[in-house]
């Protein structure tokens, strides 16, 4: 054994035990009391969590003239400092590119920069024969999930295309992950508000109401029923969509749903901050009425929602968000969050009594690993798993500020919020990459992770 983490409290999705963790060759090789090794980390009073997994991030994502501000280096350093040791980003075929080229290009952008392990979702913005064949080829290489959008020109597909994509996902073992918002409702309301001179960011959420999200969810769930595919709904925000998921489950469908920290903690009131500050919260689907919060937390604890991911998609206020100063529809959509997810969820979930400790690990590590074909290599603390581990100090207090965070963006949506509970050490494949908030790893040390296929149960 090379390294032992001593006297911590090991938390998995299943149990909480006092044990030392023995590490060798980047893997966990022992879980027992009284382990010995040349290098010892004393972890008394700390939780030992599996390295957390964020299955929804957009690093250096091109949107029109802009590229999201965190690249694969800064974004993964931020992830690591916040306790996330695996991310899943996206590959999108733009213009004349085919899917194989898009994936190769994205790999080139990421390899050599990433500091934690990563994978990529494919994006289903076409359904021609070549595209569908390439989905099959790529699934065999470990790209086993497909993002489908029901809005955003260039990315969105129609209902017929969705059914075909879902059928191919089912055939080749990809998990379809869906952004559900009705494009036509949004376009109609945006045009109406602009015509009435309503240009402030507060009109962003009003142009994308819960009914637009729930309608698209309900429709995609019907399409999935026909295709016989299981689906995963990304960033579910409101009770209306939760009801659509419940109805699909009642008729026997297998549906998973993700929630984000911003939809659990921030609300529509944030768009009314002074001046143009509401632009910080222009993300889609938008922040909702506070009445959704207790329902989403409860659904998360009870297992109706399966994962918490961030949808990290940072844009600077200066030079990017401010483009929409006189027209909210020009504000690039998205907000940062990859670094703050774990401290926020621990503080406002676990400490606040909304989420049990084991459930916290489950929704932020274990279930993401299972659904996205990474388990048991990732997502748990067990003999044989990668030694991706957090030594987490439950009493460390931090006041969140964009200046101290590693995210490459000029604001933090939670500026000034207090968190209690922060990673003391972050270990990736046996290597300490973060110590007391300082990144110690090497650029490019992260590895691409081919993932197992998703098993769609028979309808
Ligand atoms: O506003 C957001 N969420 N931007 C990123 C792309 C997406 O919708 O997931
Ligand atoms: Zn989305
Ligand atoms: Zn997203």
The DSSP secondary-structure symbol of 333 reads P
pLDDT category at 459 given cuts 50, 70, 90 is low
Instruction: Identify the CATH number of the domain in which residue 342 sits.
Output: 3.20.20.140
Pairing outcome for strands 62-63 and 66-67: antiparallel
| Residue 129 resides in a domain | yes
| Residue 406 resides in a domain | no
| Residue 409 resides in a domain | no
92 lines ligand 1 (CB under 6 A): no
Residue whose C-alpha is closest to residue 302's, from 252, 259, 342: 259
Q: What does each C-alpha distance from 265 to 57, 254, 262, 348, 355 come to in angstroms?
A: 18, 27, 5, 8, 14
Domain count, the chain: 1
pLDDT in tens, 304-348: 999 999 999 999 999 999 999 999 999 999 999 999 999 999 999
388 lines ligand 1 (CB under 6 A): no
Domain of residue 152 covers 51-371
- Is the pLDDT at 362 greater than 80? The verdict is yes
DSSP-derived secondary structure for 158-223: -HHHHHHHHHHHHHHT-EEEEE---HHHHHHHHHHHHHTT--STTHHHHHS-HHHHHHHHHHHHHH
Ion ligand 3: residues, Cβ under 5 Å: 311
How confident is the model over 401-411, as a mean pLDDT?
98
How confident is the model over 358-384, as a mean pLDDT?
99
284 lines ligand 1 (CB under 6 A): yes
- Is the pLDDT at 154 greater than 80? The verdict is yes
283 lines ligand 1 (CB under 6 A): yes
Contact 48, 62 (CB under 8 A): no
| Residue 360 resides in a domain | yes
Which atom of ligand 1 is the closest one to the Cα of 284?
1
Ligand nearest to the CA of 313: 1
Residue whose C-alpha is closest to residue 317's, from 339, 332, 337, 338: 332
- Is the pLDDT at 372 greater than 80? The verdict is yes
pLDDT in tens, 200-217: 999 999 999 999 999 999
Residue 159 token pair: 């209902």
Question: Which amino acid residue places its CA nearest to atom 2 of ligand 1?
Answer: 334
pLDDT in tens, 76-89: 999 999 999 999 99
| Residue 127 resides in a domain | yes
How confident is the model over 163-180, as a mean pLDDT?
98
Question: Which amino acid residue places its CA nearest to atom 8 of ligand 1?
Answer: 284
pLDDT category at 14 given cuts 50, 70, 90 is very high
Radius of gyration of the chain (CA): 21
Contact 50, 365 (CB under 8 A): yes
Model pLDDT, residue 207: 99
pTM of the model: 0.98
Ligand nearest to the CA of 236: 2
Residue 369 token pair: 């690993």
Ligand 1 mutation target, pool 64, 284, 286, most atoms within 8 A of CB:
284
Count other Cβ atoms within 10 Å, centred on residue 274: 6
366 lines ligand 1 (CB under 6 A): no
Distance between CA atoms of residues 414 and 399, nearest Å = 9
| Residue 126 resides in a domain | yes
pLDDT in tens, 193-203: 999 999 999 99
Residue whose C-alpha is closest to residue 195's, from 203, 279, 287, 182: 203
| Residue 416 resides in a domain | no
Distance between CA atoms of residues 167 and 177, nearest Å = 13
How confident is the model over 247-261, as a mean pLDDT?
98
Ligand nearest to the CA of 63: 1
* Average per-residue pLDDT for the chain: 98
Residue spans of alpha helices (H) in 230-363: 239-250, 261-265, 292-302, 341-345, 357-361
Question: Which amino acid residue places its CA nearest to atom 9 of ligand 1?
Answer: 311
pLDDT category at 117 given cuts 50, 70, 90 is very high
Ligand 1 mutation target, pool 124, 233, 236, 311, most atoms within 8 A of CB:
311
Which atom of ligand 1 is the closest one to the Cα of 149?
8
Which atom of ligand 1 is the closest one to the Cα of 234?
9
Ligand 3 centroid to residue 235 C-alpha, Å: 8
| Residue 262 resides in a domain | yes
Ligand 2 centroid to residue 183 C-alpha, Å: 12
């Amino acid at each position: 054994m090379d390294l032992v983490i001593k006297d911590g409290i090991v938390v998995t999705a299943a149990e909480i035990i006092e044990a030392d963790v023995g590490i060798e060759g980047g893997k966990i090789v022992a879980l027992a009391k009284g382990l010995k090794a040349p290098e010892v980390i004393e972890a008394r009073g700390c939780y030992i969590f599996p390295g957390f997994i964020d299955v929804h991030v957009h690093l250096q994502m091109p949107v029109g003239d802009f590229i999201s501000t965190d690249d694969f280096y800064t974004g993964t350093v931020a992830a690591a400092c916040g306790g996330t040791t695996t991310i899943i980003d996206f590959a999108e075929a733009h213009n004349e590119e085919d899917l194989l080229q898009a994936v190769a290009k994205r790999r080139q952008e990421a390899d050599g920069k990433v500091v934690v392990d990563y994978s990529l979702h494919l994006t289903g913005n076409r359904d021609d024969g070549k595209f569908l064949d390439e989905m099959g080829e790529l699934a065999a290489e470990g790209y086993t999930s497909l993002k489908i959008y029901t809005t955003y020109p260039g990315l969105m597909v129609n209902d017929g295309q969705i059914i075909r994509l879902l059928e191919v996902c089912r055939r080749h073992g990809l998990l379809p992950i869906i952004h559900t918002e009705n494009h036509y409702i949004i376009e109609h309301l945006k045009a109406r508000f602009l015509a009435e001179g309503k240009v402030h960011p507060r009109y962003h959420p009003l142009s994308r109401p819960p009914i637009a999200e729930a309608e698209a969810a309900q429709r995609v769930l019907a399409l999935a029923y026909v295709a016989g595919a299981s689906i995963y709904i990304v960033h579910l925000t409101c009770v209306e969509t939760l009801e659509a998921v419940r109805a699909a489950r009642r008729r026997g469908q297998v549906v998973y749903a993700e929630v984000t920290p911003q939809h659990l903690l921030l609300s529509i009131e944030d768009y009314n901050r002074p001046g143009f500050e509401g632009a910080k919260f222009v993300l889609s689907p938008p922040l909702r009425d506070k009445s959704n919060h207790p329902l989403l937390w409860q659904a998360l604890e009870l297992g109706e929602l399966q994962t918490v991911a961030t949808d990290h998609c940072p844009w600077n206020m200066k030079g990017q968000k401010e483009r929409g100063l006189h027209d909210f529809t020009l504000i690039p959509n998205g907000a940062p969050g990859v670094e703050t997810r774990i401290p926020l969820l621990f503080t406002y979930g676990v400490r606040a009594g909304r989420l049990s400790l084991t459930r916290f690990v489950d929704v932020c590590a274990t279930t993401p690993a299972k659904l996205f074909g990474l388990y048991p290599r990732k997502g748990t603390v067990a003999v044989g798993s990668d030694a991706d581990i957090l030594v987490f100090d439950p009493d460390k207090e931090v006041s969140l500020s964009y200046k101290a965070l590693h995210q490459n963006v000029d604001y933090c949506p939670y500026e000034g919020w207090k968190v209690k509970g922060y990673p003391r050490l972050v270990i990736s494949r046996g290597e300490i990459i973060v110590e007391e908030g300082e990144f110690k790893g090497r650029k490019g040390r992260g590895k691409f992770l081919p993932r197992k296929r998703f098993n769609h149960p028979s309808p």
